[in-house]
A and B are shown apart, each in its own frame.
Chain A
């Protein structure tokens, strides 16, 4: 990587993109004989929206799982905030300030919207087991602080009307929104979204795009997202990584990636005549 590219810069719409927040170096991931990710390197810069795209089975979700600690890479290193990350369990990664959503929504379906988003604050809760059990001063004060933070997120995502509804009963689009809310509640440095718009109609997609842009803009949260809808990706992201069969075939700003013949081939197929 050349030095010039890590200088902070200001985007056309006025957001500041800072230095490198996370760097993935030569990541390889194998499951038995299957190679899901082959020697992929890229970086994620502070404040940017970084998309990972590619056809089905390209290894996009595996990549996200490596970043969030759900998978341990067979080879390669993950650098976060300038330090090499030792092998970590997913909950430890979460405690470092990396929050995520899942492709097939993973919510606590028996709990209300409010409680679901409240669990997102667990990494932010400091009081110990004993004072929690006894419901003493600190724990009580904390609870009301966290409630306030959660209410802010509920307002932000415009889901006030479903605060008390068990999320299992909500329609798909709203469940996706609650899941985003839970991830936001952790006030993450890095937010990972696995197909945040999958299965949504046009209107829901527009809403979700707006929320993603607002999160990035208002809170300055760095976002990595996986998405199938090329139009959405090109509109939202600052830089795009393109994967195919576990390999990186493109990396750069949307316009540049769109013009890349390898990427076009992966998406449309090449004619062999």
Chain B
């Protein structure tokens, strides 16, 4: 039997790990685009919001641009009147995200070839604001509940199995089933993305484009195709993150702000490393929960709001490339 205080700390840690997985999911989208094009995609969070909005909209049979249509035509339409199976809605949303990737390449990236990274970064800020407004107009600004049938609530199994560890006052660890699912999905996603980028033709082409545009062209790689591909994958990862976060706390504007939480994760893990995004996410998740649990009460709590950023700052001072990032040395 272990002391209760210790068991609580373990529980906090487990929940921290689970939260970390969700951070990592968002950070993963950033890493993919950064690796392939050197762009820091400010719009990744909004991409997740847009994906979740589209998913809910399709599933519930919402008519896109209903408000706009009603206002201009004087009609009163809102719903198609169907309820789509979750899996079909998810597949359709993947399709929408691919179309979005094509549009982004066609209307933004194509015109900014060979521009400085800062210009591309600014373009993604513009994209973020556009998508945010576009999502609003298309699907409405109200908070929506997302239900694709993922299990929710405390996992009784974990509770029962772990109850024996403590004394009478201990009822076992509280772990949300949704978090467990998220962790599994993230693991599958990371493994398949890593395999894809290491061993497939397109993955190799993707790494080639990230490394040197000219050389990539010279071996017959179409930059445009690769960009569409990488933004499609980022859109897909955004959809997964949007589903997990949306199921947890509803689909609303604040979903796009999770992007801000991904920043410290990236600083910790390194902008160019997929495993880095995962480990960074986990460290931040566990770190902020444990810090709140141990130090929090002494300094008045609410440390979760700033802990990640302070940790990231410390990393920036001592290890600017992050834990797994490539150290960039300019040869003179």
Q: Contact residues of A with B, CB < 8 Å?
A: 68, 70, 89-92, 94-95, 99-100, 102, 106-111, 115, 118-120, 122-123, 125, 127, 129, 132-133, 135, 139, 143, 182-183, 186
Contact = CB atoms under 8 A, between A and B. Distances in A.
Nearest to A94: B220
A94 B326 contact: no
Contact of A110 (B195, B196, B326): B326
Q: Which of B200, B201, B204, B211 has the most CB of A within 10 A?
A: B201
- Closest 3 A-B residue pairs measured CB to CB? A94-B220, A106-B215, A108-B211
A94 B207 contact: no
Given A135-B199, A135-B200, A120 B219 contact: yes
Interface string B194-231: 01100111111101101110111111111100000100
29 contacts: A89-B217, A92-B220, A94-B218, A99-B218, A102-B214, A102-B215, A106-B214, A107-B212, A107-B215, A108-B207, A108-B212, A108-B215, A108-B216, A109-B211, A109-B212, A110-B210, A110-B211, A111-B208, A115-B207, A118-B204, A119-B221, A123-B219, A129-B202, A132-B201, A133-B200, A135-B195, A139-B200, A182-B215, A183-B218
A119 B205 contact: yes
A86 B182 CA distance: 51
A8 B195 CA distance: 49
Contacts of A109: 211-212
Contact of A100 (B211, B212, B218): B218
A85 to B, nearest CB: 15
A127 B220 contact: no
A92 B225 CA distance: 12
Given A94-B220, A122-B219, 4 more contacts: A107-B211, A107-B212, A109-B211, A186-B220
Given A132-B201, A132-B202, A135-B195, A108 B208 contact: yes
Nearest to B203: A132
B326 A106 contact: no
Nearest to A93: B220
Contact of A106 (B200, B204, B218): B218
A91 B221 contact: yes
Contacts of A123: 219-220
B218 A133 contact: no
Contacts of A132: 196, 200-203
A106 B212 contact: yes
A150 to B, nearest CB: 12
Interface residues of B, number: 26
Contacts of A107: 211-212, 215
B201 A127 contact: yes
A127 B203 CA distance: 13
Given A106-B215, A107-B212, A135-B195, A91 B220 contact: yes
A120 B204 CA distance: 10
B207 A111 contact: yes
Contacts of B211: 107-111
B185 to A, nearest CB: 17
A92 B220 CA distance: 6
Contacts of A182: 215, 219
Contact of A89 (B202, B203, B214, B222): B222
Nearest to B196: A133
A230 B144 CA distance: 74
B212 A115 contact: no
A139 B195 CA distance: 13
Nearest to B222: A91
Contacts of B223: 91
B199 A143 contact: yes
Q: Which of B195, B207, B211 has the most CB of A within 10 A?
A: B211
Q: Which of A107, A115, A132, A139 has the most CB of B within 10 A?
A: A132
Nearest to B201: A125
Contacts of B218: 68, 90, 94, 99-100, 102, 106, 183
Nearest to B272: A110
Contacts of B199: 135, 143
A24 B117 CA distance: 37
Nearest to A126: B201
A186 B219 contact: yes
A129 B225 CA distance: 11
Q: Which of A102, A108, A111, A143 has the most CB of B within 10 A?
A: A108
B180 to A, nearest CB: 26
Contacts of A122: 201, 204-205, 208, 219-221
B236 to A, nearest CB: 12
A139 B215 CA distance: 24
Contacts of A106: 212, 214-215, 218
A107 B215 CA distance: 6
A100 B205 CA distance: 17
A123 B208 CA distance: 14
Contacts of A92: 220
B222 to A, nearest CB: 5
Contacts of B200: 132-133, 135, 139
Contacts of A133: 196, 200, 202
Contacts of B205: 119, 122
